[in-house]
Structure 1
Amino acid sequence: MTTSRSPQADPTVHAPAKAGGLRPVLRIGPTSWRVHPRAALCATVAGVLVLLLLVVNLSYGDLKIPFSDVVRALLGDSSGVNSFIVREVRLPEAAVALLAGLALGLSGALIQTIARNPLASPDVIGVNAGAAAGAVGYIVLFSAADSGVPAGVSADLALPLAAFCGALIATALLYAAGWRGGLDGRRLVLVGIGIAAALTACTSWLLVTARLQTAASAQVWLSGSLTGANGSNVTWLLVVIVLVAPVALWLGSTLNIVELGDDTARALGIRTTSAQALALLCAVLLAAVAVSAVGPIGFVAFVCPQIARRLAGTSRPPLLTSALAGAVLVQAADVITRLWLTGLAVGVVTSLIGAPYFIYLLIRNQRQAP
């Protein structure tokens, strides 16, 4: 689904003649959305899968809870032991998996669109590595003396801020080293890989210098684990997604034009630098808050936009479908670890899925290169 501005004021759906090759347009006030039927169908199916996986995720655990009880608990029934387990024990972790997947999927779609490169994503170009370095730096440098847990009453605020600062520093380095009159996709990926390697080395140094208990705690977090996810993580993820996602979706029409090339976009009156900077800021915010909640879950932001693009049949990753695909992948990985791979972090499962796909895309791009 892509967006474009229109002066029409009445909310209506207009379907131009198919002979012209145009798609139906949904107009609401001064804004209109060009409806891509196949992308809309994919988004609908992905949304249904998200809800189904949420129910499955809440149902399975040490105690199997019937699906009907899970649905009743989600609809507001707070009576009984099953409802308590669903709402108070399992729902925070499941909600974090859902929201983190949404954030990572949307972040990856934005970065791949900006870079015009399917190999670009927050975990490949160093954004996730920067967020991880910032968060681990906070855990190691400001941990409590005995517990290894971040100290201070503002710990719930400090960890996301540390992750965001780390991601922002990585993004600034990426811009400084990769900007040459614009963002070139290949250069962005190569520079980003180098920045990610340097930041990963910084994270390793922090772990080596930390106390053993603190380092072990940070290492579990670095593997991309949902263990320990709580209501505070849900709150931060929800706030950032509610604030940033509408801006990112609103940028969809501008990104469509930017995708045609900087010269064409400028000729049509688009400020490419401002549009790319705003979209990149949205992607950094989404990736940073997801990493601060669950750690650097690998390859979700890389794989999901490409899967969504192929399923939807669009020229670039569809933003909404990519976000929903991210939620599907993270929740599915959580269900897999809960049922068959107990004790394994979710990030390990997503990396096992994403790494072969990354290699495939890398080989394919090399063969297509002139």
Structure 2
Amino acid sequence: MKSLIVKENNIDQAIYYFYIKGFGTEEDSLTSWLGGNSVEPKPPRRDFYKFMNMDRQGYDSHILRFGARKIENERCDIDSKYVISYFLSDDTIQINVVAEKGGAKDGKYLQRTKVKKPDSFQSQDPAVPSVYYSTADFYVGAILEMNKQHFLITSADDYVFEFMERPEMVSMFHKSNLKMILNKIYSVAGDKYKQMMARFISYDPADSGLVTESMFREVLDQFVGYDISEHEILTIVRRFVDRTQVPSEDKLANVYKLMRRELRRDNFSSFDKLKLAFQEQDLGRTGRVDKPTARRVLVSSLGLSRSQKRSLSIRHIINSCIDLHRVIYSSTVTL
């Protein structure tokens, strides 16, 4: 135990022995060495309110999943895709690798843990707790430095957008706050705002009030540029997308075919339980549930694969299936 004896008030050395060498976390060390005259060291205080409210609740996982690419030499690595999972209950992060085009093998890149921000965000005073990544740092288009590697967030699970756009959560996530985004566009466009609206009108000769997403992005790029993130653009698209178009029978049949194939690969047979799960969420006994609820039930019930790649495959199919329906009928679930 001689190696653990440190000089009084030598905080740097204390953190080295107790944190770097594996004796607890940095918060444990700081609490012990900065705890005043207390004879018995006390553990750091934890946010139990967040834990109780943001831990898994039924079909609501409270896990935000993002697709990401590693940036090396100012270029994206196209051989491997990374899935970054952010756990809202304790602000921990886990990174998994999904191999593509013969890249790195599937596996865990980073064990679930809290991740510090780069040194430029940290205080020079060792007595000040470190700054960690939080929910505000995660959005489509963000570049994050973790473990001396840079990651570009390129996509997000549909649950991410649905969670961030909830009325009780939207004030916390500015990238999903539609009112703030529109005000930002108006502010950035400035004197060119009317000119921007005129351009939209010119792309809609039939005066239908609709333009294609590619045209919408083209106009935004011209008048707003890099002042708006991809996540903010997707928030606008999700809000104003035309959902009145009825999908073709061929497209529905192809999605159902893919879903049945994935279910057979997992030997899934609990259709009665799946139907019951939908009926439990249909509190008003209307025979239907909304899309976010349908997605949570399907992901929780069908995402049974242990393989990260298989799990992503099922999630993509579920998203496609839900997007092709205006409502999901709880009394007639057919897969």
Higher relative contact order (CA 8 A, sep 6+): 1
Higher helix share: 1
What's the TM-score once normalised by structure 1's chain length? 0.25
CA radius of gyration, larger in: 2
Structure with greater strand share of residues: 2
